[in-house]
Amino acid sequence: MSRVNPYEPIKAVIREVIEETPTIKTFRLELDEPMEFATGQFIQLTVPGVGECPFTPSSKPGKSRNMDVTVMKVGTATEVLHRKTSGDMLAVRGPYGNGFPLDFLKNKELLIVGGGCGMAPLRSLLYEIIENKQDYPSVSFLYGCRTPEDILYKGSFPEWKKEIDFERTVDKASEEWKESEGVVTKLFENVKVNLKKCVAVIVGPPVMMKFATMELEKKGVSDDRIIVSLEKNMTCGFGKCRHCLCGPYYVCKDGPVFFYKDVKDLPDVWD
């Protein structure tokens, strides 16, 4: 925590806005001061005068004044945010939460499963993995979206494909689409990593995570080898507002990244 007052954010300027899909944009920010975050941690982004929302940065983890935040237009604040352009002021608090357990992931076979906008936090994990390839010898990345249009970071795909095993699928293909069609769990059939040994990291909409975890368990991935990132209403970000409580956990502090075994029996985990 860089600031004495935890509610005081760091101002940031939008340097570039990248239109990823019709409803998703990546905002390339320059912060007034550098902020250090680990992949999977989240920040609270202030849209001045409108609201504040939690996002996991999609840029390379580490300490920097530059940060990418990929935002889907779903509510009041993100609606206004989507109208912002280069030069507009925002503000950032954080980072908060635990992030992905990199020490646990290192030197294991990894199966990473992303759905829709869940690709945003996974891009920052991808940067980490590609930059430290020696620590991650075997990685399979599966990414599912509704349509080809909804796919994030389309331009980076060829580059990533060179670095790791990377498969994409869409629920509903277009005529030009040459890759898989169907829900992401279909790709589990021919996955290259050994499901009896691998660690799975799943990030996506709740319904996708629910079915992906169920399917993986059926295929022999035990619940202590499945890692999920939960989305709850995180207002303060540091365990003082109680909004994000899920069972006995503060999702903002104890999470947002959890081992599936710790949260699978909580009644409201996917709601």
Partner 1 sequence: MIQRINTDRLKQLLKDWAEVHDVFVPDEQGRLVRFEEDGEINWNIVPVWGGLKEFIYPPRNTVAGSKEDSGKLTVVVGARDCDVRALVNVFDRIMLEKDPADTVYKNRREKIRIVTVDCSSPADTCFCTAVGGKPYCDKGFDLNLSFIGDKVLIETGTDGGQALLKGLNSKEPENDEIDRKDSIRDTSTRKVKANFDSDYKSGRFGDRISGNSEEKYWEKKSEDCMQCGGCNFCCPTCYCNVLNEQSSGREIVKVLQWDSCQFPGYARVAGGANPRKELWMRFRHRYYCKFSLMPGEFDIAGCTGCGRCIQVCPGKIDIRDTIKGLL
Name which of 69, 111, 75, 78 is nearest 203 in CA terms: 111
The span from the first CA to the last CA of the chain, in angstroms, equals: 30
Rounded CA-CA distance 139/198 in Å is 9
Give the Å distances, CA to CA, from 217 to 102, 168, 262: 22, 21, 14
| Residue among 35, 43, 67, 91 that touches partner 1 (CB under 8 A) | 91
User: Does 206 interact with partner 1 (rule: CB under 8 A)?
Assistant: yes
Q: Closer to partner 1 by CB, 9 or 121: give it.
A: 9
Residue 260's φ and ψ, nearest 5 degrees, are -55, -35
Stretch binding partner 1 (CB under 8 A), from 21-29, 58-66, 138-146, 227-235: 227-235
Strand partners, 142: 113, 167
Q: Closer to partner 1 by CB, 7 or 104: give it.
A: 7
In whole angstroms, the minimum distance from the beta carbon of 232 to partner 1 comes to 7
Rounded CA-CA distance 200/227 in Å is 6
User: Does 36 interact with partner 1 (rule: CB under 8 A)?
Assistant: no
User: Does 49 interact with partner 1 (rule: CB under 8 A)?
Assistant: yes
How big is the site for partner 1, counted in residues (CB under 8 A)?
Answer: 45
| Residue among 77, 102, 173, 183 that touches partner 1 (CB under 8 A) | 77
Name which of 2, 68, 9, 86 is nearest 44 in CA terms: 9
User: Does 238 interact with partner 1 (rule: CB under 8 A)?
Assistant: yes
Rounded CA-CA distance 78/81 in Å is 5
Pair 170, 151: CB distance under 8 Å = yes
Q: Closer to partner 1 by CB, 112 or 251: give it.
A: 251
Pair 79, 24: CB distance under 8 Å = no
User: Does 6 interact with partner 1 (rule: CB under 8 A)?
Assistant: yes
- Amino acid in the structure at residue 135: D
User: Does 228 interact with partner 1 (rule: CB under 8 A)?
Assistant: no
Stretch binding partner 1 (CB under 8 A), from 2-10, 135-143, 155-163, 186-194: 2-10
Query: Pairing between strand 226-229 and 199-203?
Result: parallel
In whole angstroms, the minimum distance from the beta carbon of 11 to partner 1 comes to 7
Q: Closer to partner 1 by CB, 79 or 131: give it.
A: 79
User: Does 51 interact with partner 1 (rule: CB under 8 A)?
Assistant: yes
Residues that bind partner 1 (CB under 8 A): 1, 4-9, 11, 46-53, 74-78, 89, 91, 205-206, 231-233, 235-236, 238-248, 267-268, 270-271
